[in-house]
Amino acid sequence: MATVLALSGSPSRTSRTATLAEHTASDLRSRGHRSFVLALRDLPAAALLSADTHDTSLARAVDLVAESDALVVATPIYKAAYSGLLKTFLDLLPQHAFAGKPVLPLATGGSPAHVLALDYALRPVLTALGAQVTQGWFVLDRHITTAPDGAMTLDHNDELKLANVTDQFVLALPSRTLLTAA
């Protein structure tokens, strides 16, 4: 069982990106992994913008990254790039914060024209942090619907593709099984 931290990089309170991150975290929990979602929008803005890692909330967020075995990084795509909120958080992390950790990048956006942002904008930053970046997935906003109770429904094809990239991510997760001598 691995511990997976899902970072939600959307600044919006009613975020399809956050819903996708929670959906993926829930899927990982159903597979026997510990998974949590950290909504970066809930971090204190002044501390985040000034990279005040002595702030208790930011220090705890950085610790959660360090303590995780793997990460899901979910972001909306704005103007062909991942969110500034996510960039601000990633910039305050230590240089090798993701070293050796599998990372599943997920993105949402309004146009298929932004699909390349995963590979040309986000992947290089994750790699620079030392991540073992797995195949990610981009979901069009219109393919995500949320019921009044908060339940998310994905377009059938996106659900299948997300399940496939999640399967590949799970294969990359480190095992916490301890071997015992007989």
pLDDT at residue 62 above 90? Answer: yes
Closest among 163, 172, 162 to 69, alpha carbons compared: 172
Contact present, 58 and 43 (Cβ < 8 Å): yes
Question: pTM of the prediction?
Answer: 0.93
| Chain mean pLDDT for the chain | 93
- Buried residues in 90-104 as b, exposed as e (16+ CB within 10 A): bebbeeebbeebbbb
Packed helices 84-92 and 56-67: angle between N→C axes, nearest 10 degrees: 80
pLDDT value at residue 70: 98
Q: What is the pLDDT of residue 175?
A: 75
Residue 64 has a pLDDT of 98
Cα of first residue to Cα of last residue in the chain, in angstroms, is: 22
User: How confident is the model over 4-47, as pLDDT tens digits?
Assistant: 999 999 999 889 999 999 999 999 999 999 999 999 999 999 99
At 170 the three-state DSSP class reads helix
Assigned fold of 3-172: Rossmann fold (3.40.50)
163 three-class SS: helix
pLDDT greater than 60 at residue 164: yes
pLDDT of residue 176: 56
